[in-house]
Amino acid sequence: MKKITHKFSNSSVDYYLEAGISHLKKIVDQKNAVIVTDENVFNYHQKRFKGWNTIVLKPGEEFKVQATADTVIEQLIEMEAGRKTTLIGAGGGVITDITGYVASVYMRGIPFGFIPTTLLAMVDASIGGKNGIDIGVYKNMVGVIRQPKFILHDLIFLNTLPQNEWENGFSEIIKHACIKDAAMFRELEANSIKTYRKRKKSVCELIQRNADLKTRVVKQDEFEKGERKLLNFGHTLGHALENMYELSHGQAISIGMTYASVISEKITGFKEAERVAKLLLQYNLPTFSAFDRKKVFDVLKMDKKREKNEINYVLLDKIGKGVVKAIPLSQLENIISNL
């Protein structure tokens, strides 16, 4: 096991990498902890949660809503959870987002930690302290930025991860490569989900490389004034598509990245949109798609990245170098209707 402590602006987070869930007992007092998970994770891995207090939620993005947060809070009250209780989110991004959110508001804030169980949550959702819920079609509209006390990786969870969830995780990995890491982009081009899944060691290295990349970006800019915005590559259009079309998060941002690359060709002079789309296809992700340009623009303009009449859009200068450009809404409407 590796333990790395990362310092953020006003807290520090312990990363336990290549660890086992059995190590959890050494990190928190079992009697004073509650694990929040979902039915899929719980059913596959029940024996790993033996001896722990658990709250088991229904799986899926449609449950990442205030009503679910309320039921968690009610159960915490019933369990007599107090200020010293640690809440542990063991699951994918839906579970880590809800757990961090509830822990931030329950009794004005209790400590929390994460055991990400999807590839996507390991490389992305569990890192950076953004926690929240969806409101109707508006993704992550309500939430907080608050860091967990710890993140524990136990790669054994990935043994039960379905193929489509591997694809979702690779979508964020490709995002990281596009905005920050040209060498990783080339490594991904030379591989596939199949080759990675065959070699535990390369999956493990890839996860740590991505967790590290995201952590470095967030540490530089925890409250998203600049650098952190790059992590939204593919997400402006992606979020608008996600709930409107019942796409998974990974699929939606894959389409978002495809079009952000095309828009980059118009605005920054980027020349490799085809190459980005080819890599996404190689990981079984959707690229160019039919969607209602007008409806999507109407949702997109409510994006949190909007400032007055401009949207901060993440584009690529080249592979491995993302840039944020403020695009006036009128120009963006025109671009999107002509995509």
Answer for the pair 154, 20: CB distance below 8 angstroms, yes or no: yes
Q: In three state form, how does the secondary structure of 169-207 look? A: HHHHHHHHHHHHCHHHHHHHHCCCHHHHHHCHHHHHHHH
- Helix 163-180 vs helix 249-267: angle between axes, to the nearest 10 degrees? 30
The burial of 299, by beta-carbon neighbours within 10 Å (0-12 exposed, 13-18 middle, 19 or more buried), is given as buried
Q: Does 243 bind ligand NAD (CB under 6 A)?
A: no
One of 48, 176, 180, 249 is an active-site residue; which one? Answer: 249
Q: How far is the CB of 172 from ligand NAD (least distance, A)?
A: 6
Tell me which residues in 117-156 interact with ligand NAD (CB under 6 A): 117-118, 120-121, 124-125, 128, 130, 139-140
One of 45, 153, 209, 228 is an active-site residue; which one? Answer: 228
Q: How far is the CB of 331 from ligand NAD (least distance, A)?
A: 27
Tokens 């997109």, residue? 300
Among 24, 38, 229, 252, binds ligand NAD (CB under 6 A): 38
One of 48, 146, 176, 214 is an active-site residue; which one? Answer: 214
Structure tokens at 129: 């302290």
CA 294 to chain CA centroid, nearest Å: 27
Q: Does 53 bind ligand NAD (CB under 6 A)?
A: no
- Helix 66-78 vs helix 93-105: angle between axes, to the nearest 10 degrees? 60
One of 239, 242, 243, 305 is an active-site residue; which one? Answer: 239
Enumerate binding residues for ligand NAD (CB under 6 A). 38, 40-41, 44, 59-61, 64, 91-95, 97, 117-118, 120-121, 124-125, 128, 130, 139-140, 157, 160-161, 165, 168, 249
Residues taking part in catalysis: 108, 130, 172, 214, 224, 228, 232, 235, 239, 249
